[in-house]
C-alpha cells in the first residue's frame, strides 16, 4: 500500500473543461464583472469607487434595458426587456402609491422602479469584464447614442464590434452646467482579439438635455 496520490493526467478535451458551463452561469447575471459608474465628470469602478484611469479603452459587447426595483438602497428585482419586445410601461409594474415610496438623497419620495440601461464591456488586453449601469437621463442617452453608431456601422460590417474610450461631455441642466458620460468609439473590430481599424479623431457636437432632477444626472448606486 502506498500513500502517494495518483492524479489522472489525461488531458481534457478542448472546450470540455467546465469553464464554458461556468461562463454560461455568469451570462445569466444582469451585472457581470466589475460595476462601472459615472458621476460628477468621473468614471469609477466597484464599491470602493476607484477612479478609472484616463483613456481606458474597452470593447462594448452588448447592452440590456430593464426596470430595476430598489428596496432599502439595493436592487431587489429586474424586469429585463426581451429581444424584439418593448419595455413594460411603468404603470404596469405596480407600486404607484407615492406615500409608500422611500425617500431619495434629496428627501423626496423616489420611485422604486428605475428605468435602467446596462452596457457590457471587456478589456481587450486582460479580458476583465465590466458592467456600466445607468438610470440617469444623460447616461441613458449615452447608451442610445452608442447603439445608433453601432447600427450604422453594421450596415456595412454586420460583425462590427466597437472599442470605446470612456469620456465625458458638458451638459446644461436646470441645476447649471453638469457632465454626462460618453462612449467615444476609437476603433472597430470583428472580434475582441483582432487589432481592428482605428477611427479618426472626431469632435462630436451633441445637444444638451435638461435634467428633471438631481437623480437624473448621477447614477446613485450604493454598491
Per the model's pLDDT, the better-predicted residue between 118 and 219 turns out to be 118
In a domain, 3, yes or no: no
Count of domains forming the chain: 1
DSSP 71: E
Which pLDDT does position 208 carry in this prediction? 41
The answer to the question of residue 86 being in a domain is: yes
Residue 67, domain extent: 36-216
Least confident stretch, 55-64, 149-158, 195-204: 195-204
> When comparing pLDDT for 24 and 136, which is higher?
136
Q: Is 22 helix (H, G, I), strand (E, B) or coil?
A: helix
Rounded-to-integer distance, Cα 211 and Cα 221, Å? 18
**Using one digit for the tens of pLDDT, what is the confidence trace for 20-57?**
877 777 777 888 999 999 988 899 999 888 999 888 99
Q: What is the pLDDT of residue 207?
A: 39
State pLDDT tens for residues 80-114. 999 889 999 999 999 999 999 999 888 999 999 99
Q: How far is CA 136 from the centre of its chain?
A: 12
Higher pLDDT, 137 or 222: 137
> Mean pLDDT score of the chain, rounded to an integer?
82
d(CA 118, CA 147): 12
Give phi and psi for 10, each to the nearest 5: -65, 120
Report yes or no: 37 and 119 within 8 Å, Cβ to Cβ: no
Give whole-number Cα distances, 173 to 28, 177, 217, in Å.
37, 6, 9
> How would you class 49 by CB atoms within 10 Å of its CB: exposed for 0-12, middle for 13-18, buried for 19 or more?
exposed
Task: Kindly tell me if the per-residue pLDDT of 117 is higher than 70.
Answer: yes
Interatomic CA distance for residues 211 and 192, integer angstroms:
35
Measured CA to CA, the distance from residue 28 to residue 81 in angstroms comes to 14
Residue 222 lies in a domain: no
Residue 9 lies in a domain: no
Contacts of 75-80 spanning 24+ positions with Cβ under 8 A: 78/30, 79/113, 80/30
- Kindly state whether residue 114 falls inside one of the protein's structural domains: yes
123: left (phi over 0), alpha (psi -120 to 50) or beta: beta
pTM for the full predicted model = 0.77
More confident residue, 67 or 55: 67
Q: Would residue 78 count as lying in a domain? A: yes
Residue 163 has pLDDT above 60, yes or no: yes
pLDDT in tens, 176-198: 778 899 999 999 998 877 665 54
CA angle, residues 153, 168, 80, in degrees to nearest 5? 65
The most confident of 1-15, 28-42, 146-160, 165-179, by mean pLDDT: 146-160
CA 4 to chain centre: 50
Q: What are phi and psi of 216, to 5 degrees?
A: -80, -5
Ramachandran assignment for 21, one of left (phi > 0), alpha (psi -120 to 50 degrees), beta (any other): alpha
Cell reading at 158: 454586420
Is 27 among the domain residues? no
> For residue 19, what pLDDT band results from cuts at 50, 70 and 90?
confident
pLDDT reported for residue 34: 94
Is there a domain that residue 212 lies in?
A: yes
Amino acid at each position: 500500500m502506498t500513500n502517494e496520490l495518483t492524479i489522472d493526467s489525461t488531458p481534457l478535451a478542448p472546450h470540455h473543461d467546465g469553464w464554458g458551463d461556468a461562463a454560461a452561469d455568469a451570462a445569466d447575471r444582469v451585472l457581470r464583472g466589475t460595476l462601472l459608474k459615472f458621476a460628477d465628470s468621473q468614471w469609477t469602478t466597484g464599491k470602493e469607487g476607484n477612479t478609472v484611469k484616463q483613456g481606458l479603452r474597452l470593447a462594448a459587447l452588448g447592452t440590456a434595458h430593464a426596470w430595476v426595483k430598489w428596496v432599502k438602497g439595493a436592487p431587489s428585482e429586474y424586469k429585463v426587456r426581451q429581444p424584439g419586445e418593448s419595455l413594460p410601461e411603468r404603470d404596469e409594474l405596480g407600486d404607484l402609491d407615492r406615500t409608500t415610496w422611500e425617500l431619495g438623497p434629496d428627501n423626496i419620495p423616489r420611485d422604486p422602479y428605475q428605468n435602467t440601461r446596462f452596457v457590457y464591456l471587456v478589456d481587450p488586453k486582460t479580458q476583465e469584464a465590466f458592467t456600466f449601469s445607468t438610470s440617469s437621463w444623460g447616461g441613458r442617452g449615452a447608451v442610445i447614442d452608442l447603439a445608433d453608431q453601432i447600427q450604422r456601422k453594421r450596415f456595412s460590417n454586420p460583425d462590427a464590434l466597437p472599442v470605446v474610450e470612456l469620456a465625458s461631455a458638458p451638459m446644461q441642466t436646470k441645476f447649471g452646467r453638469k457632465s454626462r458620460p460618453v462612449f467615444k468609439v476609437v476603433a472597430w473590430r470583428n472580434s475582441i482579439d483582432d487589432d481592428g481599424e482605428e477611427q479618426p479623431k472626431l469632435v462630436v457636437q451633441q445637444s444638451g438635455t435638461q435634467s428633471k432632477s438631481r437623480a437624473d444626472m448621477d447614477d446613485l448606486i450604493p454598491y
